[in-house]
């Protein structure tokens, strides 16, 4: 069991969840940008080795999918080049790196979903940066890349989850238009965090790419329907296609992440119901 783990992106949703669910035997060191700007090579090599951690978990990312289209250099610096710095320092420390990635590395043309071994083909600047980050991470011996999708749960600092957005709109509006396309798997952030800790705790965890989402899949509209039903909210949901909203970036039509290396997680509906009933 490793004694020290460094969590980067500590104020985000996943960073917060990792701290909530941390194993008792682990000393978790949680840093955000104020402690270490991972896009600054000199900061990374000067600060991270002093932690003497056995694992580095990178949750830090530029997640604005549409904004990324106009900020390619910045997105690349955070989602790709910075990961290369982390891979370099992890190798030098003889530490293992876990890097978080996304279903958006796939084009979304395969309705049945994508296995870990399938060839990525991103269709947005954001997706391209995440794929490049994967490639950089895997240059470090023992590195693990975890692809996930549609995180929801207790909010961190940053972009709100779809669940939060729907609940906020439902407070003020009697009618909400939701895209009935783009099939993927909602994932409770605490479920994901616990899976990450299982990998950390197992000395036999193989390097490479893993898919970790809650089981099952839905469109955004179907996701919203479930949120409204669980909360018993009086609100009309209107199904629209993806052209209804003007968005700068293309999204994959189908980006279900099939898991072939580990057992599937519980259904997303069960995870959503637990979260909504306890929040």
Q: 3-class SS at 229?
A: helix
Could you tell me which of 164, 141, 189 has the C-alpha nearest to residue 9? Answer: 189
Could you tell me which of 195, 200, 203 has the C-alpha nearest to residue 55? Answer: 200
Residue corresponding to tokens 């057992």: 263
Q: How far apart are CA 214 and CA 148, in angstroms?
A: 9
Residues 87 and 56: beta-carbon distance below 8 Å: no
Could you tell me which of 198, 185, 182, 168 has the C-alpha nearest to residue 22? Answer: 198
Q: How far apart are CA 136 and CA 18, in angstroms?
A: 23
Q: How far apart are CA 252 and CA 181, in angstroms?
A: 9
Angle at 3 between CA 154 and CA 210, to 5 degrees: 55
Q: Which residues are catalytic?
A: 126
Residue 208: enclosing H or E segment and its boundaries?
Answer: strand 208-211
CA distances from 118 to 61, 182, 255 (A): 23, 19, 12
Determine how β-strand 175-179 pairs with β-strand 236-240: parallel
């Amino acid at each position: 069991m490793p004694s020290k783990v460094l969590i980067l992106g500590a104020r985000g949703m996943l960073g917060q969840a990792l701290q909530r669910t941390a194993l008792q035997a682990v000393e978790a060191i949680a840093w955000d940008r104020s402690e270490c700007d991972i896009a600054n090579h000199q900061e990374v090599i000067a600060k991270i080795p002093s932690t003497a951690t056995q694992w580095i978990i990178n949750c830090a990312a530029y997640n604005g999918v549409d904004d990324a289209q106009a900020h390619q250099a910045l997105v690349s610096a955070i989602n790709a080049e910075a990961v290369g710095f982390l891979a370099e320092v992890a190798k030098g420390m003889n530490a293992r790196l876990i890097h978080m990635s996304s279903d958006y590395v796939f084009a979304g043309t395969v309705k049945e979903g994508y296995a870990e071994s399938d060839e990525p083909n991103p269709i947005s600047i954001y997706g391209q940066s995440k794929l490049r980050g994967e490639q950089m991470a895997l240059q470090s011996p023992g590195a693990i890349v975890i692809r996930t999708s549609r995180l929801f749960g207790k909010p961190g600092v940053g972009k709100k989850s779809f669940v939060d957005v729907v609940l906020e709109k439902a407070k003020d509006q009697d009618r909400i238009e939701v895209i009935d396309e783009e099939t993927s798997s909602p994932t409770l952030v605490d479920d994901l965090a616990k899976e990450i800790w299982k990998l950390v705790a197992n000395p036999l965890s193989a390097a490479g790419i893993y898919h970790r989402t809650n089981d099952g899949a839905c469109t955004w509209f179907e996701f919203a329907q479930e949120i409204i039903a669980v909360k018993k909210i009086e609100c009309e949901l209107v199904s629209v296609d993806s052209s209804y909203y003007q968005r700068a970036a293309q999204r994959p039509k189908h980006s279900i992440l099939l898991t072939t290396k580990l057992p599937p997680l519980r259904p997303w509906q069960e995870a959503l119901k637990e979260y909504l009933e306890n929040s």
